[in-house]
């Protein structure tokens, strides 16, 4: 079985196989090829952003997250060029730190945040308030105060209580722009924990029950008041995550545009913005389907044009909110093998120095990853092995049944690709295990973005005997 890893852009010329055997160099399709794309050959020389992964492990220790800045920037540019008419708002919950916010800002993207904490980080680096969108099904009063205080561009409202509270908190006469989160009743056929377009769930106002239309009515009540407190800037939906179908986004666009037509008919108000959320899939392993951005751009553009023509509406401003698709592929996690266990006739376990605390996705969603040996070249034949973490749970698995060389041994280094999204941001300190550092690489230079957590960090919060 040839299980080729993609540690970075799928177009990078990486001869990566989990077997440790050389493989032919794939032909780059150039379009999204990153400038500093990894140029590794043998396992011991495997590099990202011009820096050898083994060297990063030696310098910074393991486990460690490595992040390829050029890859992040290339993904951001790909979105901008595929959808030049749209606002691209990076969903910060996928991965956020000050440097990342800087990259996103310099590439001309906007920023989605979903808590006062994410907002504070954006504010800390001076990210322009008018390019920030605040989400959340249950925002705290503090989140709302902070957002109003910073003057964030749009707040996505998610419940009738929130609309009233926001209208009261907002400065009458200086209306806060809001988007209404609509549940379009579409099943993106993704994992239940990340399917957010279906009826039965906590997010949004249902289109089918009329709740979405009521929300439009309610927001417009505040917009059309003498001293308006809210302004209906747009309609929003987010169908879930890891979605490969483009058609479902087109159907969502049609349904939201129909609601825009209703708003025009009923209140003579044109809703100016259509936000189709994120959720664009990323292939984690070789052969996993990726999201086709070009097809998406073309399909969404023609769908919106057609639906608006039918309803005699002007074309709304389009916003999309990719998170994973911007940052997942830029990340690689480095682990060191701590121990191995061969259970005859059952399985070989390889235990590494990280696990569900730095990558909870397999345990949460059954996500599949791959891993490969780095730091030395092995010519030993491959054998299926299951890579597990060091935590006290049987479900603490990083990757099942991967072909890894039979001479794999404690002390070896493993690289797990595609770990840039929802790993560091979801990391925990389970078992009092310190969270790994985030090391950015670019043009042959590595630098620490987020330092490794220390036991002092952990113990600092434990303030009483």
Strand partners, 236: 181, 275
Verify binding: residue 277, ligand PLP, rule CB under 6 A.
yes
Verify binding: residue 94, ligand PLP, rule CB under 6 A.
yes
| Cα–Cα distances in angstroms (integers) from residue 162 to residues 111, 159, 408, in the given order | 21, 5, 55
Of the candidates 136, 130, 140, 79, the residue with the CA atom closest to the CA atom of residue 113: 136
| Cα–Cα dist 17/14, whole Å | 9
Binding positions are 279, 321-324, 361, 365, 393, 422
| Cα–Cα dist 196/184, whole Å | 10
Residue 99 Cβ vs ligand PLP, minimum distance, rounded to whole Å: 19
Verify binding: residue 93, ligand PLP, rule CB under 6 A.
yes
Looking at the Cβ atoms of 280 and 391, the one nearer to ligand PLP is: 280
Verify binding: residue 323, ligand PLP, rule CB under 6 A.
yes
Residue 187 Cβ vs ligand PLP, minimum distance, rounded to whole Å: 16
Verify binding: residue 279, ligand PLP, rule CB under 6 A.
yes
Residue 65 Cβ vs ligand PLP, minimum distance, rounded to whole Å: 17
284 contacts 4 by C-beta, under 8 angstroms: no
| Cα–Cα dist 221/86, whole Å | 28
365 contacts 97 by C-beta, under 8 angstroms: no
Residue 52 Cβ vs ligand PLP, minimum distance, rounded to whole Å: 29
Report 121-160 residues binding ligand PLP (CB under 6 A).
135
Looking at the Cβ atoms of 245 and 378, the one nearer to ligand PLP is: 245
Looking at the Cβ atoms of 74 and 446, the one nearer to ligand PLP is: 74
Q: Could you tell me which stretch among 14-22, 63-71, 207-215, 319-327 binds ligand PLP (CB under 6 A)?
A: 319-327
- Please count the residues of this chain forming the interface with ligand PLP, following the rule CB under 6 A: 16
Which residue lies nearest ligand PLP, judged by its C-beta? Answer: 323
Verify binding: residue 238, ligand PLP, rule CB under 6 A.
yes
Looking at the Cβ atoms of 321 and 412, the one nearer to ligand PLP is: 321
237 contacts 256 by C-beta, under 8 angstroms: yes
For the record, the structure tokens of 347 come out as: 């399985």
Residue 333 Cβ vs ligand PLP, minimum distance, rounded to whole Å: 18
Q: Which of 180, 325, 373, 388 binds ligand PLP (CB under 6 A)?
A: 325
Verify binding: residue 91, ligand PLP, rule CB under 6 A.
yes
For the record, the structure tokens of 374 come out as: 């780095």
Give me the DSSP letters along 92-106.
GGGS--HHHHHHHHH
A 10 A CB-CB count for 375 gives 21
Verify binding: residue 241, ligand PLP, rule CB under 6 A.
yes
Looking at the Cβ atoms of 60 and 103, the one nearer to ligand PLP is: 103
392 included as an active-site residue: yes
The CA-based angle 208-292-24, given to 5 degrees, is 150
Binding positions for substrate are 324, 361, 365, 393, 422
Q: Which of 280, 336, 361, 442 binds ligand PLP (CB under 6 A)?
A: 280
| Cα–Cα dist 408/341, whole Å | 11
Verify binding: residue 175, ligand PLP, rule CB under 6 A.
no
Looking at the Cβ atoms of 38 and 277, the one nearer to ligand PLP is: 277
Q: Which of 97, 237, 308, 392 is catalytic?
A: 392
Q: Could you tell me which stretch among 45-53, 86-94, 169-177, 451-459 binds ligand PLP (CB under 6 A)?
A: 86-94
Q: Which of 112, 143, 146, 396 binds ligand PLP (CB under 6 A)?
A: 112
Given the rule CB under 6 A, which residues bind ligand PLP? 91, 93-94, 112, 135, 238, 241, 277-280, 321-325
Catalytic residue positions, numbered: 392
């Amino acid at each position: 079985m040839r299980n080729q890893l993609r540690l970075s852009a799928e177009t990078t010329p990486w001869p990566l196989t989990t077997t440790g055997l050389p493989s032919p160099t794939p032909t780059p399709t150039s379009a999204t090829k990153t400038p500093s794309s990894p140029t590794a050959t043998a396992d011991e020389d495997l590099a990202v952003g011009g820096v050898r992964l083994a060297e990063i492990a030696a310098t910074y220790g393991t486990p460690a997250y490595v992040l390829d800045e050029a890859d992040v920037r290339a993904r951001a540019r790909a979105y901008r060029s595929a959808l030049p008419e749209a606002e691209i708002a990076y969903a910060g919950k996928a991965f956020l730190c000050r440097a990342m916010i800087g990259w996103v800002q310099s590439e001309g993207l906007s920023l989605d945040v979903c808590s006062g904490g994410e907002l504070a980080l954006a504010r800390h680096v001076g990210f322009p308030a008018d390019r920030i969108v605040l989400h959340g099904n249950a925002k705290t009063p503090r989140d709302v105060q902070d957002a109003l205080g910073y003057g964030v561009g749009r707040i996505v409202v998610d419940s009738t209580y929130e609309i009233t509270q926001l209208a009261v908190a907002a400065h009458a006469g200086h209306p806060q722009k809001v988007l209404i989160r609509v549940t379009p009743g579409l099943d993106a056929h993704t994992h239940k924990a990340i399917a957010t377009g279906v009826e039965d769930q906590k997010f949004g106002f249902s289109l089918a029950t009329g709740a979405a239309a009521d929300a439009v009515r309610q927001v417009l009540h505040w917009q059309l008041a003498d001293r308006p407190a809210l302004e209906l800037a747009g309609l929003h939906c987010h169908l879930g995550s890891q979605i490969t179908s483009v058609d479902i986004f087109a159907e969502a666009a049609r349904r939201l545009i129909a609601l825009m037509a209703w708003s025009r008919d009923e209140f003579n108000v044109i809703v100016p913005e259509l936000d189709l959320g994120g959720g664009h899939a990323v292939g984690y392993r070789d052969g996993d389907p990726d999201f086709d951005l070009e097809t998406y751009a073309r399909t969404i553009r023609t769908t919106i044009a057609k639906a608006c023509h039918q309803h005699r509406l002007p074309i709304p401003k389009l916003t999309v909110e990719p998170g994973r698709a911007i940052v997942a592929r830029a990340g690689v996690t480095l682990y060191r093998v701590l121990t191995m266990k061969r259970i005859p006739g059952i399985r070989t376990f390889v235990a590494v120095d990280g696990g569900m605390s730095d990558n909870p996705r397999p345990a949460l969603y059954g996500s599949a990853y791959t891993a490969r040996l780095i730091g030395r070249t092995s010519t030993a034949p491959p054998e299926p092995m299951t890579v597990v973490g060091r935590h006290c749970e049987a479900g603490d698995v990083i990757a099942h049944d991967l072909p890894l060389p039979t001479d794999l041994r404690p002390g070896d280094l493993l690289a797990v690709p595609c770990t840039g999204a929802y790993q560091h941001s979801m990391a925990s300190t389970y078992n009092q295990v310190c969270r790994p550092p985030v090391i950015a690489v670019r043009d042959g230079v590595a630098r620490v973005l987020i330092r490794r957590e220390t036991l002092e960090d952990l113990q600092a919060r434990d303030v009483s005997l």
